[in-house]
Structures are given as structure tokens and as C-alpha cells.
Amino acid sequence: MAKIFGALTNGGTLVVTNIGVTALVAGDSFKLFNAASYSGTFTAVQLPPLSSGLAWNTGNLNTNGTVSVVVNTAPFIGSILLSGNSLVLSGTGGVANVNYYLTGSTNLTTPLSNWTRLLTNQFDAGGNFNLTNDLDPNSAQNFYQLQVP
């Protein structure tokens, strides 16, 4: 991390190299610059390549000097099955070994940020998932969302 005493004016091409040996994963975040204030934008940003399904988030680069790794794919629900009082979902398209969450609500108009986290699980090495959630038999309706960080 570069420490700038005063204002940083971004410009030109920023080239970042990963000298580590550990693969970058979703949620990794790096503060490249620490300055009293930021202005300007880089004309080009070259960041290290990432594994399939991941992307760089540079949204905070010009405002606080931070870049982070985010999930760039949406998992696909391939099958939905009712088994007794349980809902069984399975699918693919996730990022290998990354956590996902099942959130739920009984009111579809509730803001997603207020949905209840029902369970946390992890995609397998192929990006697949299979989860079982017990249904509340007293609830007239339930809505679910698969959420990735």
C-alpha cells in the first residue's frame, strides 16, 4: 500500500501484479493507496487475472484506493423438488468452493436486505449446489433467493 501525505490525483495507467502464491477468492480486498483525499481517474487499470466466475470491483479505486474480488456469475437453479415438508434445490453455475446463502421471506415486496438468512452453504469444486430447507407448514407462502457474496 502506498501512503500519500496529502491529495492523490489518479491518472495514467495503473498496473497491479499479484506476487503471492495463493489464488485470489471472492471477498479479497486490497487498499492500494491511502491518501488524505482522492481526485481524477486512471485512463486504464490492469489487474491480475482471476479464476473463472470472479471479477475485479474497482468502484472504490478512485475514491478510497481499494479494489476487491467479487463473484461475477449467477448460479442457475436446475431443479426444485418438494420432499415432505422440505424444499430441495439444486443447480450449477456458482464459483467453486465459495459460500452462498439461502434467504427467504413470506412477503415478496420486502426489500431483499431484510430477507432472513435461512442457511449458509458452499458450492462444490465444480460450482454445483444442492440444498434442503425445511418449510414452515403454518406459512401461506414462502419466497427464496440464492445469494452470493
One domain, residues 64 and 103: no
Dihedral pair phi/psi, residue 25, rounded to 5°: -130, 165
Percent of the chain residues topping a pLDDT of 90: 45
Q: 7 Cβ partners below 8 Å, 6+ apart?
A: 35, 36, 37, 38, 39
**pTM of this prediction exceeds 0.85:** no
Q: Indicate the number of domains in the chain.
A: 2
Q: Work out the average pLDDT over 142-148.
A: 87
Q: Of 71, 102, 118, which residue is a domain's last?
A: 71
Q: What percent of the chain lies above the pLDDT cut of 70? A: 100
14 and 42 share one domain: yes
100 lies in the same domain as 136: yes
- The CATH number that applies at residue 127 is 2.60.40
What letter would DSSP give residue 24? P
Confidence label for 21 from pLDDT (cuts 50, 70 and 90): confident
Domain that holds residue 18: 2-71
